Structure 1
Amino acid sequence: MTRVVLAPDSFKGTITAADAATALADGWATVDPTAEFVHRPMADGGEGTVAAFEAAVPGAVRMPITVDGPAGEKIDTSWLLLPPTRDTPAGTAVIDLGSTSGIELLRELRPWDADTTGLGQALAAALDHGVSRLVVGIGSSASTDGGTGMLSALGALFLDAAGAPVPRGARGLASVASADLTALRPAPEVRVLTDVTNPLTGPRGAAAVFGPQKGLRSPDDI
């Protein structure tokens, strides 16, 4: 009997990694019905990261939440609670930006106004649960807000020169004069999953490299 390990990534915007693995198994079985399939869908820190962990870790539990999506509307999503270990007695939370503030959640691109508030709200829910570790996938973002939405949801305050809160999204970044982190929630051990090393600004910055993907169309937009 043939044993087949199926480990695809997602096909962005069309099919999830888990669905791709199922489709591959269905097709293979038509010519080799005795084959045994091991489903190991993969992710790179972007969309599907929670699903990949769920498929790989026995005993993982989905924790449903509702967050503010990248366009401000409510999004029903979830984070994943991994079982406790010796190093993580209260368990590990796996959260991906793709399912909370991701570009695939938009009906139309919002390069100036999309933000990462939903990711921060998911992190806050995991902190409320009392987990020992956070694992955060930060790919597939709908915005280039520098994480200000996420940090605001966790208690940070970003102010302009007059002391007023700045608008959400990339629109407010240029007017940030100060960041008050006094009320920022403390976190346990945090591991970030990403496959890029771009800073926020500059010629290799996230705004310049990934901004066009999110709707920024000219150098004046960046």
Structure 2
Amino acid sequence: MNHNLASFVAAAVERALVEYDHGLRKPAIEAGGLVAGMVAAAVSELALDQQIHLATRVSEIEGAVAELVTRLTADVPVRSHRKAASSPTTATLSPVGRRGIADLSGQVTTNWAGPVAGPTFLERTFGISRSSLNRWQRRNYVIALRSGGRKHVFPLAQFVDGRPATGIVDVLNLFSNQRLAWLWLIRPNSELDGQIPIELLKQELRDAVIEAAQAHLATGE
């Protein structure tokens, strides 16, 4: 593991956490920095194809990280109530344009939409040009969530090999707005045996997802 990189990222994340929430206590800041540094160092040692693939597995990563943290702290007695975590509302998707964690990677994680990114990050990381994003957005091929003003951010989980998953346009044509569509796409679905629709779209199982979306909208469940 690249310990120099881990230390550098840890320090940067600690500064970002302090700026994000002045009420965070020192143990939370140090632990957050430590974990982020180690993850960044481990990812940096992967091959480029692996790094790109990893960025598309956001739902699995989120669950795995949460499970790991819970498992590592399961035997620690809780002596006080934890501070309730503050979370942004869906009206403020992400702190794009403000200093903080977004500055470290070009992407941020929202409390409901998962990791999202702007055009600069997508072009630098996935080679997706702004002209392609604009074209996809006009044609409803891509989920674009408004982050304030006229700016949009794009959920990373929708991309496969630098392109939106096949079938997103069909889902968007069924739903009344993009937020509702994305919220439905990232939740386990009973019509799909508990599987997540966006993951099935990335496996090119478009027809099954469209049928589930139609059933959902027909029943309102």
Answer 1 or 2: which has greater helix percent. Answer: 2
Structure 1 length as normaliser, TM-score?
0.26
Answer 1 or 2: which has greater strand percent. Answer: 1
